[in-house]
Amino acid sequence: MSKQILFDKQNFICSLFSWFEQNKRDLPWRKTYSPYHVWISEMMLQQTQMERGVRYFNRWMQEFPTPDSIAKSSLEKVLQLWEGLGYYSRARNIYASAKIISNTYNGKIPCDEAKIRSLAGIGEYTLSAIMGIAFEKDYAVVDANVERVFARLFNCTDKNLKKAVKPLAQELLPHGKARTYNQALMELGALVCKKIPQCANCPLVPYCESKKLNLERERPVPKKKKEIIPVLASFCIITNSNNEELLRQRTNQKLWNTLWEYFGIDTVIFDNASSAEEKQNVARQSILIEISETFKIPKAILEENVSDNAFFVTSNYTNHKLTAYFFSWHVTEEFEQIINKNISGTGPYVWTKNTEQSAMPSHHRKAHHQHHKEKG
C-alpha cells in the first residue's frame, strides 16, 4: 500500500541532520567517503556487525589500499583476508570487479550508473550506496536499518518492505544531500530505531505514525523465523612426519568453493544419536569409513591409529548450526606413501606447514587454532 508524506519535509530533514551531526560514529570510511572505501565497507557490512566490519575494513585497507592492489594480488589472498566474513562470493566479486576497474577504468570506480552496475556482484543496494554516499548523487539507500525506520515512521505493514520504503526514502531525499541523508537514516536505525526502539532518544518521534498509535514495537511486522537445522560434520587433521598437514581444496561446490579444508565429511547422519558421546562415536565411525574408502586403508587399522577423542567447534550459518568434530592422525611414512598414491590425480590435495596462509571456512580455521593450541 502506497503511503503519503503528511509532515513538513524540511523540518524532518533538519531534525534528522542535527541528530546525525551530534551522534554519528567515527567510522574509517567516513574519513574520505571515497568510492572504493564505500564499496568495500558496504560489501563487508552485509550480514556483519559494525564492530567486526570495522576491524576487517582496516585490515583490508592495509593490504589492499586501492582497486589496483587487489587486481595485482591473487584470489587466494583475497579469500584469505575475507575469511570469517562468510558469503565468499562477495570476495570473488570484489576480485573480479577490481580487475575490471584496474584494466578498464584506470583504477578508479566510475561515476556512472551503467558502468557500476556492470561490475560483478553490484546490485541495486550497492549501486545506490556508491552513487549516493560516495558520489552524492540523489540515490536513496535502503538497508535493513532504513527499512525499520520507515516501517515505523509510516506504520508500514507491507510484506515487501523494501519495495514500499524505497519510493518514500527517495521522495524525502533533499537534492544534493544524499550522503548525509543516507548515512543519517542508517545510523538512526542502527543506534536508536533498533529492534527494540529507543524512542526517548529519537529525533523523529514527532513524525512517527507507529509511535502515535503505540505500535512502534510491532513494526516492522515480524517475519517468520527461519528454521535452524542442526548439521553434524566430521573431519580428521592428518599430519605427517614433517609436521605438515594434509589439506584438500573444495572444487565445484556451492559452499566455500576453492577454499581449503581438512579431510572429512560435510554431513553425517546422526538421527539415532542424542548424547554428545553418541554423536562423537557416529562422527568417528563416519570419518574412519571415509578415510578407509578414499585411501584404501583397512578400517581396522585406522581404529588403532586415528584418535579416539575429538574436539568440536560450532559455527552458525544462515539456516543451519554446524557442529564439526575434528579427530587427528599423525601418519608414519608408510601411511603417507599410501595416502599420496591414492590422492594422486583425484583433486587438489597438498601437504603444508602453511595452513595459516590458506583460506578456509570458519569452522576449519577454528579447528586449526584449537588443534595447535592443544599441541602447545
Residue 227 is a catalytic residue: no
Q: Which of 21, 42, 83, 290 is catalytic?
A: 42
Mean predicted confidence (pLDDT) in 345-350: 80
Does residue 327 contact residue 284 with C-beta atoms inside 8 Å? Answer: yes
pLDDT in tens, 125-182: 999 999 999 999 999 999 999 999 999 999 999 989 999 999 999 999 999 999 999 9
Question: Would you state the cell numbers that stand for residue 192, as one nine-digit string?
Answer: 536508536
CA distance 196 to 169: 22
CA distance 227 to 134: 38
Tell me the pTM: 0.91
Scan for cell 561515476, then name that residue.
111
CA distance 374 to 313: 14
Instruction: Give the helix/strand (H/E) hosting 40.
Output: helix 35-45
pLDDT of 344 higher than 80: no
| Domains recognised in the chain with CATH numbers | 9-218 (1.10.340.30), 229-375 (3.90.79.10)
Closest CA to 180 of 23, 8, 7, 5: 23
Q: What does the buried/exposed string (b/e) look like for 37-63 if buried means 16 or more CB atoms within 10 Å of the residue's CB?
A: bbbbbbbbbeebeeeebbebbeebbee
pLDDT at 362: 93
Closest CA to 81 of 58, 60, 96: 60
Identify the band that residue 254 occupies on the pLDDT scale cut at 50, 70 and 90: confident
Closest CA to 92 of 70, 75, 110: 75
Scan for cell 553490484, then name that residue.
122
| 325 burial via Cβ count (<10 Å: 0-12, 13-18, 19+) | buried
Q: Which amino acid is it at 115?
A: K
Question: What letter would DSSP give residue 263?
Answer: E
DSSP letter string over 75-88? HHHHHHHHTTS--T
Those residues whose C-beta lies under 8 Å from the C-beta of residue 87, and which sit 6 or more positions away, are 46, 47
Closest CA to 100 of 113, 126, 83, 118: 118
Q: Where are the beta strands (DSSP E) in the chain?
A: 229-239, 245-249, 260-265, 311-316, 320-330, 349-352
Mean predicted confidence (pLDDT) in 277-286: 93
| Region at 79 (left for phi over 0; alpha for psi -120 to 50; beta for the rest) | alpha
* Cis amide leading into 298 (omega within 30): no
For residue 73, how many C-alpha atoms fall within 13 Å in the half-sphere facing its CB?
23
pLDDT in tens, 81-121: 999 998 999 999 999 999 999 999 999 999 999 999 999 99
Q: At what angle do helices 9-23 and 161-172 cross, to 10 degrees?
A: 100
Identify the band that residue 322 occupies on the pLDDT scale cut at 50, 70 and 90: very high
CA distance 107 to 159: 41
Q: Strand pairing of 229-239 and 320-330?
A: parallel
